[in-house]
Structure 1
């Protein structure tokens, strides 16, 4: 054969028993089987996003035609692989009716290769969840985790857990597979993502697929593409250049974890976000921030950049991005007046200035001395309530806690009025006591704890130490675990009326 004679010249003395042969334009492995496979994120048991074009991609022989067949389509799509064997095809996906949990198949075939079939596919809603440890925390480790695991038998919820990896260059592959939600598969899966999916599934009555791709201790810059960081002078100088000029950037990158490694720019984007960008999804959920807690406006800008870059890369329009504000925590400093973490939460709240974003609160379910509070169920449910109202147009679903509209000062009293749509069912406290964590300041800028009382849908606040208040803050300290909520049990939003600079 010509191939053997060529190789014998290139590799003298080689017996060539494991030669890769070319046949009909396809690469043949030593086993004699042609190359043909779906992309890693396309597996049995997956959920395909309804009512959107769906991209099918993978590997075939060089220049080979690839047939793509779905059992919901009457026609076959034929595409051609390129010179690297990569193929991409786009097929339509119908809208499903509530209660339709029909399983489907998707098949690819090419040349002499045996057809490859994905089975037990559902059509429904798909969401991508990312972040650090509070998003990663599994169902088995949370409050009432054993009970929740035991009843997590939802055959029409599907889960994808991406394996940790890092890369200097964007990857198209990722380790993981779609699995049916059962007590066995959910135990080590993200609790926030699971409860989010469960609430959507039980409310919409359609299949729901949820992906978790993230890692504990990770910083936001790790999830932003290198070229995006380089194009932004602020982000380039703050994150990219310090890394590229360090010894760390010259290390061989592998998949091993370290607390430092998960803060390096762009490595997690390349390995854990980029492999999914062709997948059709409904939107994103994000719970991260603890690793960037010493940042302020820079973090807001970083997150705006992350969101825009993900939307660009997924190329499905202005996808919704719903995120969780970090929970109260004392950071080993037992001083109830410290507010540096509150200023970071304010920087998170400023992410909302970007269109089609939403923020979920954790002020009432945090634990002052636990960075990883165990009560994760309300967090996932609140993300789902936000999606139901904002994305699925279920306007009767309440998703916001009491949000300050105005504060007026009359002599020694401050009166807080809330946006009417956020106090449906009225104001109350979850423990029946007076509202906590209001503080007042006079012209000297010194804040003092204040007494608060609910009056209808307003709150009156006063402090014996502040005769002429000019500023009011609510839950604007590091570890205030709050009790003020509306009739739907959603916590009041922290705020401050002043614009005074943070005291370092």
Structure 2
């Protein structure tokens, strides 16, 4: 009998030893971990969960700053720390009933990189000179965080992913565009860079927007309803916003890189409302107007005759939104391949944009010619451009991508010639020009550049309803 009691007691002890420690409740979301990068010279938030009323203490090694808080009755807590100028590695200690020590933490520049497959595209998937690029990817002060694929009907509090150091092994499966951007920023500024890859191939922009905002706008809601179901990604409003974006808020970022639009060529005009809505939605979530830099979609013949050009022009017009920037890639695309393999130059152009506009490197060119205004001179239309102060050039003997129309709104092919930093356009059939279009076809080859070698964007000068 005594042996039986001892056996039962032993079993109870073993069972109790396997139960979780109800006092060890301090937890962190996945975005916080070893090897992470925090934004420099900023007030950053660190948050998590703990037992209700549990006292939580956070200590940073860069200044031994100690911040205390108490978990709410919802088991949540949050503290704010002031970060120094770029440097590291540091540690952050989070103490409650248990202790978490975050090690190898760097302070630098953090960029959120999002969109669809061209942002997601990796060296393993296939890029130019992939073998050399992978072999050279030894940058211990560049860190990656890849957000795992998830969807949700309501906003989530956590996501899947972890911070890793940039090595050939980790780089080959990470966003190539984000990597080449980060490498250039790191090498130009000589500071740590953290890159959060939050992309999913094929996703239309609607999936990355708060669904309530789309539901409140009749036109956006109607357009979203036309997105056809596919097998490789969600298309419904808010699905990735809820699961992959919302849990990152308010992790402090320097800005956003966006490469998306291919899946919205079915309704380019709606994108004129949808894309600015997305930008404002994200900025509202974080509570500040961070830079939002994006890649214009490349020419591709399978969009249909004009859909690609129409969406590229919409992207150009979105530059009216403050603190945005766009890089044009019509010279390094592939009309047969929706995924241009020259991700090196795309990343570099994004880096030059950020280095010039965000980090003050004004000597770096960051944009090709952008249409500014049209003036008429008899039967001629004279086009003026931003980013053309040093002049315009053509890589062909003749500019062939211009069309002109009179008040009848019927466009015809036009003769065009470069005159300094302007383009003069005319056609015998149009006596009184009313509008000009450039590269108004989904599949084009870039022909107009500035002296810095960057291509001009597709554009139209009119606001006529496209039939």
Give me the TM-score of the superposition, normalised by structure 2.
Answer: 0.89
Q: Name the counterpart of 1:441.
A: 405
Partner of 2:242 in structure 1? 270
Change (3 A) 1:226 1:340: closer
Counterparts of 1:167 and 1:19 in 2: how far apart (Å)?
Answer: 36
1:258 aligns with 2:236: no
Change (3 A) 1:305 1:29: farther
Identify the residue that residue 485 of structure 1 maps to in structure 2.
449
Q: 5+ unaligned residues in a row in structure 2: which ranges? A: 1-10
Cα distance in structure 2, aligned partners of 1:497 and 1:350: 11
Q: Which residue of 2 aligns with 1:180?
A: 165
Question: Given the alignment of the two structures, is residue 70 of structure 1 paired with residue 60 of structure 2, yes or no?
Answer: yes
1:427 paired with 2:392, answer: yes
Task: Tell me by how many angstroms 1:298 deviates.
Answer: 2.3
2:36 counterpart of 1:81? no
Q: 1:501 to 1:371 in 2, by over 3 A?
A: same
Between the aligned partners of 1:157 and 1:467, the Cα distance in structure 2 is 58
Question: Where does residue 118 of structure 2 map in the other structure?
Answer: 134
Q: Secondary structure at the match of 2:414?
A: strand
What pairs up with 1:70-469 in 2 under 5 angstroms? 70-96=60-86, 101-111=87-97, 113=98, 115-140=99-124, 141-236=126-221, 238-239=223-224, 258-259=231-232, 261-315=233-287, 317-331=288-302, 338-411=305-378, 413-419=380-386, 422-429=387-394, 431=395, 433-463=397-427, 469=433
Deviations 1:436-473 (A, max 9, x none): 41223345544333343333323334446656654322
Alpha-carbon distance in structure 1 between the residues aligned to 2:173 and 2:442: 30
**8 Å CA contact 1:18, 1:30 repeated in 2:** no
The residue aligned with 1:253 is none
For the Cα contact (< 8 Å) 1:132–1:215, is it kept in 2?
yes
The alpha carbon displacement at 1:16 in A equals: 8.2
CA contact (8 A) 1:403 1:418 kept: yes
Distance 1:453 1:237, change over 3 A: closer
Q: Is the 8 A contact 1:340 1:502 kept in 2?
A: no
CA spacing shift, 1:36–1:330, aligned 2, 3 Å: same
Structure 2 CA distance for aligned equivalents of residues 438 and 295 of structure 1:
24
Query: What's the secondary structure of 2:68's corresponding residue?
Result: strand
Number of aligned residue pairs: give it.
Answer: 456
Asked if 1 retains the 8 angstrom alpha-carbon contact of 2:352 and 2:365, the reply is yes
Residue of structure 2 equivalent to 1:500 = 464
SS in 1 for 2:382: strand
Distance in 2, Cα, partners of 1:409 & 1:170: 52
Cα distance change, pair 332–358 in 1 and its aligned pair in 2 (3 A) = closer
> Shift in Å at residue 497 of structure 1?
2.5
Quote how far apart the aligned CAs of 1:276 are: 0.3
Alpha-carbon distance, 1:389 to partner? 2.3
Residue 373 of structure 1: how far off its partner (Å): 1.4
Deviation at 1:127, TM superposition (A): 0.7
1:6-21 aligned at under 5 Å gives the runs none
Q: Return the match for 1:55 from 41, 45, 51.
A: 45
Q: Residues 306-363 of structure 1: CA distance to partner in whole angstroms, max 9, x if unpaired?
A: 2222111122x11221122211111175xxxx32322222222232232222222122
- Secondary structure at 2:94's aligned position in 1? strand
Q: How far apart, in 2, do the equivalents of 1:502 and 1:43 lie?
A: 50
Preserved contact between residue 174 and residue 272 of structure 1 (Cα < 8 Å): yes
Indicate the SS of the match to 1:493.
Answer: coil
Partner SS for 1:63:
coil
CA RMSD of aligned residues (A): 2.7
Gaps of 5+ in 1: 1-14, 22-27, 249-256
Deviations 1:216-251 (A, max 9, x none): 1101111112333344444445548x99xx9x9xxx
Asked if the contact 1:365–1:481 (Cα under 8 Å) also holds between the matched residues in 2, the reply is no
Say whether the 8 Å CA contact 1:424–1:488 is kept in structure 2.
no
